Amino acid sequence: MARYVIRRILVAFPTLLAVYTLVFLFIRVAPGDPAVAALGDYASAEAVQALRERMGLNTPLWVQYGATLLGYVRGDLGRSLITNISIGSQIAAVLPHTLELTFAGVLIGTIFGIPLGIIAAVHRNRLADYLSRVFSLAGISIPAFYLGILLILAFAVKLRWFPVMGAGDFSNPVENLRHLALPALALGIIMIAFVARMTRSCFLNVLREDYIRTARAKGLSERGVILLHSLRNALIPIAAVLGTQTALLIGDSVMTEIVFSRPGMGKLIVQAMLQRDYIALQSLIVVYASLVVVINLLTDLSYGVIDPRIRYE
């Protein structure tokens, strides 16, 4: 397995290099000047020119490309063109909040989505199935930010159970959870919908398998058939969906972070894009892509845990 992991990590480098190259080119093709964005429209022309010089924007493109890449090799993500803050420190400050939110969303999606999918599959074409499918369809259809606004209005403005804004301090777990509850629910409901649909579909396939019929013929209880024989076999495609959705959820968290005024990677990426903060955008996307690579690797490794027959050659 170690060789497999090393091989995957080695394959990740060209992937990340391709991501970096594409972002580097696309952001520079788009119109917009980081110096103007940083200084505002009242700044003098000399000041804009001086800042462009200081930002290194007047150096040849290949020099800019190489300098940033060299920084990555040294573990330096560079400094924001706009704020001059180290991007590494910015990411260190916000990444825990993004991971916390994503993890909470996935957790909610898994805890509620899998049972909901199983119930729907077991009670196929009955009321529970219909309700589950309606919920799933609604969950997939509603954008996370809109759901977030509805949750804010209901649970923060009307009921005053949860705060509207910010991310609680990690040193105060209760406060942290209060701040996390609504945004996690906004992402979690969408995740529940995806997971429930996938679980239902996988379960229906598994329930048709010969070994399930055999288990039932042996007189195994229905609960035993579902939990011992069906669930584990259905879990591999579910794990695949969970992996993909977790990566997507980091992207979905952009609007959730904005609606709930939480610090996070998504908010930084949008800000960097709007301000043409080339260095910050490149580094943030590379870090985001690295996260996706890691999540995909963990997802692939989880297959072996779920199904011991799978070997990593």
Partner 1 sequence: MKVRLLILGCWFLSIVATGQVLRIAFDAADLKTLDPHYAAATMDRAVVDMVFNGLVRYKPGDITVIEPDLALSWEVSEDGLIWTFYLRPGVSVHPFPGMPDGYELTSEDVVFSLIKAADPQRSAYAGEYTGMKFEAVDKYTVKIVLPQPISSALFLPKVANYSGGFIVPKRAYEELGPRFATNPVGTGPFRFKEYSPAQKVVLVRNEHYFRGTPKLEGVEIWYMPDVTARLSALLTGEVHVIEGVREQAWVEAVKRYPQVIVDVFGPGETEVLHINMTKRPFTDLRVRQAVAYAIDRNELVTAIGPDVAEPLCAAVPPYLPGGLTCAEVAERGLLYDVDLAKARELLAEAGYPEGFEISAYITERASYRKPFENIQAQLARVGIKLNITVVDHSSFHSLIRQDANPLVHYEAWRPSADAFLTRFYHSASRVVVGTKPDTNFSHVTDIDGLIEAARYELDTEKQIALWKEAQIKLLEEMASYPLYILKFVFCRSKSVDYGYELKSSLALYPSINELTTLK
List interacting residues with partner 1 (CB under 8 A).
30-33, 36-51, 54, 82-85, 90, 93-94, 145, 149, 152-153, 156-157, 160, 163-167, 257-264, 267-268, 270-271, 274-276
* Chain centre to alpha carbon of residue 228: 31
CB of 262 to partner 1, least distance (A): 7
Closer residue to partner 1 in complex, CB, 151/215: 151
Q: Residue 139: count other Cβ atoms within 10 Å of its Cβ.
A: 21
Which residue stretches of 156-277 are H helix? 173-207, 210-217, 222-224, 231-259, 265-274
CB of 164 to partner 1, least distance (A): 4
Closer residue to partner 1 in complex, CB, 7/54: 54
* Chain centre to alpha carbon of residue 304: 23
Residue 107: what residue type? L
Give dist(CA 193, CA 210) in Å, integer.
29
CB of 217 to partner 1, least distance (A): 57
Closer residue to partner 1 in complex, CB, 99/270: 270
Residue 142 burial class via C-beta count within 10 angstroms: exposed 0-12, middle 13-18, buried 19 and up:
middle
Closer residue to partner 1 in complex, CB, 38/189: 38
Burial 148-164 (b: 16+ CB within 10 A, else e): beebbeebbeeeeebbb
CB of 311 to partner 1, least distance (A): 44
* Chain centre to alpha carbon of residue 84: 27
Taking a C-beta distance cutoff of 8 angstroms, is the pair 187, 139 a contact? no
Give dist(CA 290, CA 294) in Å, integer.
6
Residue 271: what residue type? Q
Closer residue to partner 1 in complex, CB, 160/223: 160
Taking a C-beta distance cutoff of 8 angstroms, is the pair 67, 77 a contact? no
Closest alpha carbon to 83 in 59, 57, 51, 58? 51
Closer residue to partner 1 in complex, CB, 43/140: 43
Closer residue to partner 1 in complex, CB, 14/40: 40
Residue 102 burial class via C-beta count within 10 angstroms: exposed 0-12, middle 13-18, buried 19 and up:
buried
CA distances from 168 to 165, 179, 239, 252, 262 (A): 9, 6, 30, 20, 9
CB of 4 to partner 1, least distance (A): 37
CB of 3 to partner 1, least distance (A): 39
CB of 280 to partner 1, least distance (A): 10
Closer residue to partner 1 in complex, CB, 93/134: 93
CB of 278 to partner 1, least distance (A): 11
Residues in the chain, how many?
313
